[in-house]
Amino acid sequence: MDIDFSLVLVILVGVCGGLWLLDFLLIKRSRTEAVENYKRTQVSGQKKDEIDNTLAELSKEPLIIEYAKSFFPVLFLVLVLRSFLIEPFQIPTGSMIPTLNVGDFILVNKFAYGIRLPVIGTKIISVDDPARGEVMVFIPPHENKYYIKRVIGLPGDTVRYENKTLFINGEEIQKEYIENITVSTSIGGLAGTLSSETLGSVVHPTQHIDVAGGRRLRTTWVVPNGHYFMMGDNRDNSADSREWGPVSEENIVGKAIAVWMHKDPGLNMPTFFQNRLIK
């Protein structure tokens, strides 16, 4: 089961902030009154150390309040950073190979396409629209979890993908052969090709399997207003908008900007030798 960390953070911030406020408005007053009552009624002749210890005990915050005050600023800062600025994300599948590998940890720019409220995702400030060729994190229409793919089609575009060739609005997208490779699939390694594709101002790699046909019968899609057509760079091994349709603007999470760490699956140590900007 996937954990909604934004929701968890909001709840923790709310609980810690609520306890802090409750202490400020109600509980702290009772401690102050207890201290004042003791000062008025203390027995003469008590040693100073005894008085100081008693006063310290009476004014001491409950442990839960102490923890709430300590954690609140840290949790609030993490919530702000994660919700409005930068959020970390781990690549779980190979659909974006060769651009991104399984085990890559990336940074997602949360304000590139607008400022959104945490958890509910409502946009409150518009910043910019996704551009063709950018790598974007989003929630697909069929599943409530984060996906990452490349923006292929913009609102109103006609996207055609046929015989391993991409067309946008009737224009064939430039693709240059680089080399022959072996493509990892669920049934093992298959012969394939590595190419360089140009989408707008973005030049990025793609890979294809050197076999005819495929499981998809549909080849042409029209992108509705307020939606984006997403595809993986691992073109023959990616579940994307060709299967579950375009992504609504409301489900955009942010723009993937950089790989900051990599960890191979299993009991492997993370490495920082593959850090790079995402194109």
Average pLDDT rounded to a whole number, residues 53-60: 77
Whether residue 241 lies in the annotated active site: no
1 pLDDT band, cuts 50/70/90, is: very low
Given 83, 95, 195, 238, the catalytic residue: 95
For residues 210 and 201, give the distance between their C-alpha atoms in angstroms, rounded to a whole number.
27
224 and 128 in a common domain: yes
Which of residues 84, 102, 128 is at a domain's end? Answer: 84
Could you check whether the bond before residue 155 is cis, i.e. omega within 30 degrees of 0?
no
pLDDT at site 120: 74
Q: Are residues 75 and 162 in the same domain?
A: no
> Catalytic: 95?
yes
Residues 165 and 53 in one domain: no
pLDDT at 119: 74
Q: Give the residue, 92 or 34, on which the prediction is more confident.
A: 92
pTM given for the model: 0.78
Q: Which of 149, 195, 238, 241 is catalytic?
A: 149
pLDDT in tens, 145-168: 999 999 999 999 999 999 899 999
Confidence of residue 78 (pLDDT cuts 50, 70, 90): confident
Nearest to 97 by CA among 183, 166, 201: 183
Give mean pLDDT, residues 197-222.
Answer: 84
Domain that holds residue 264: 91-277
Report the DSSP pairing between strands 188-199 and 202-209.
antiparallel
The answer on 179 and 52 residing in a single domain is no
The span from the CA of 172 to the CA of 168, in Å, is 7
Name the amino acid, one letter, at 139: I
At 190, is the pLDDT very low, low, confident or very high (cuts 50, 70, 90)? confident
Q: Enumerate the β-bridge partners of residue 215.
A: none
Instruction: Count other Cβ atoms within 10 Å, centred on residue 199.
Output: 19
Question: How does residue 125 score in pLDDT terms, banded at 50, 70 and 90?
Answer: confident
